[in-house]
Amino acid sequence: MEGLKLNYTQSKLFYWQLVLQLFFITMVPFMIQYPLLQGIFCLIGLVFLGIPHGGNDVFYRKEKTPMGTVRFLSMYLGVMLLYLLLWYYFPGLSLLIFLIISIHHFGQSNFNTHRILSFDSLLWGSWLVIFPILLHGKEVFGIFSNMLGQRFVVLDFIAHLGQLNLLVIALFFALVYGAVLYKLQRSSFFSYLLQWVLVSLWYWLTPLLLGFVVVFCFWHSLQSMQYQLTYIKTKYEQDWKKTLLGFAPLGLIAILGMGFLLRFDLKSNLSFAFVLLSLVTLPHVIVMDGIYRDRDSD
């Protein structure tokens, strides 16, 4: 499936992501004055991009029969149930798994690869996960503590990193990431580096929730949806409009779910929300890994 190996940075989507991300950055001084606007912006992204981007997973089942669908859903829900049990008995290990698979999956979608030891992918995914932790250490570890039912002690020093230290870390990472990009992605070196600059600047200027949700929806989910549209069109010759309808049901469920959660203080229940996200993420990553492997095996 050669059509799936086109460079992401050469797509129109990547160009518009850069333009819109720059626009979002210029709007930060206005947005931070209105927490309600930030919340609405995050909800729109999660409902229309973040949550639905994994809503087409059942389409990729190998057996298209009713029994094949039952087996796929049993596997999918079974993985979620096992992970939930792991959260109950070993929350620390479960959190570590969530962070690792998130790093892999974010890098995977950005560079269209299933390889775990791909340094460009690994560095990008690590930055998307770790940089906001460094920027908002006290808030993040408060969420982690709620997720685990215990307080972080050893890593508390991260909460006290000053802006100068954060800048040094960012510059050091830029040198390493730039060197890896030049080695592995030379034809797209400046495009990927510009992407990193804009995303890092966005993270730096925004509150934790707004910063991460926009990156998760706008860079990861949107790119993943584009890849899935191309994959299904190439392998199954299915019209993109029909494929988009496959994402819709989970989007509708997301709207209902978000409407329900608005009755509560979502910010104070972020730990619960992230555990739920992890339960969906693990089987989704397994499915997407299969798609990338299927492409590279042809």
Digit-coded pLDDT (tens) for 85-132: 999 999 999 999 999 999 999 999 999 887 777 899 999 999 999 999
Count of beta carbons in the 10 Å neighbourhood of residue 79: 17
> In angstroms, rounded to a whole number, what is the distance separating the alpha carbons of residues 249 and 257?
12
At residue 114, the pLDDT reads: 74
DSSP one-letter string for 232-259? HHHHH---HHHHHHHHHHHHHHHHHHHH
CA neighbor of 108 nearest in space, from 96, 122, 98, 95: 122
- Give the up-direction half-sphere exposure of residue 272: CA atoms within 13 A in the CB hemisphere: 7
> In angstroms, rounded to a whole number, what is the distance separating the alpha carbons of residues 285 and 110?
14
> Taking all residues of the chain, what is their mean pLDDT, rounded to a whole number?
85
Digit-coded pLDDT (tens) for 245-277: 777 666 666 566 655 655 555 555 677 778 888
What's the predicted TM-score (pTM) here?
Answer: 0.89
At residue 243, the pLDDT reads: 79
At residue 179, the pLDDT reads: 97
pLDDT level of residue 240 (50, 70, 90 thresholds): confident
DSSP one-letter string for 205-223? HS-HHHHHHHIIIIIIIHH
Q: For residues 43-55, give the mean pLDDT.
A: 80
Q: Using the predicted structure, report yes or no on whether residue 81 has a pLDDT greater than 80.
A: yes
Digit-coded pLDDT (tens) for 95-107: 999 999 999 999 9
**What are the distances in angstroms from CA 188 to CA 19, 106, 160, 272?**
17, 18, 36, 39
Q: For residues 187-210, give the mean pLDDT.
A: 96
Q: Using the predicted structure, report yes or no on whether residue 158 has a pLDDT greater than 80.
A: no
CA neighbor of 279 nearest in space, from 122, 102, 63, 125: 102
At residue 38, the pLDDT reads: 87
Digit-coded pLDDT (tens) for 272-296: 778 888 888 899 999 998 888 876 6
At residue 6, the pLDDT reads: 58
Q: Using the predicted structure, report yes or no on whether residue 75 has a pLDDT greater than 60.
A: yes
Report domain extents, the chain. Answer: 2-297
> In angstroms, rounded to a whole number, what is the distance separating the alpha carbons of residues 53 and 50?
6
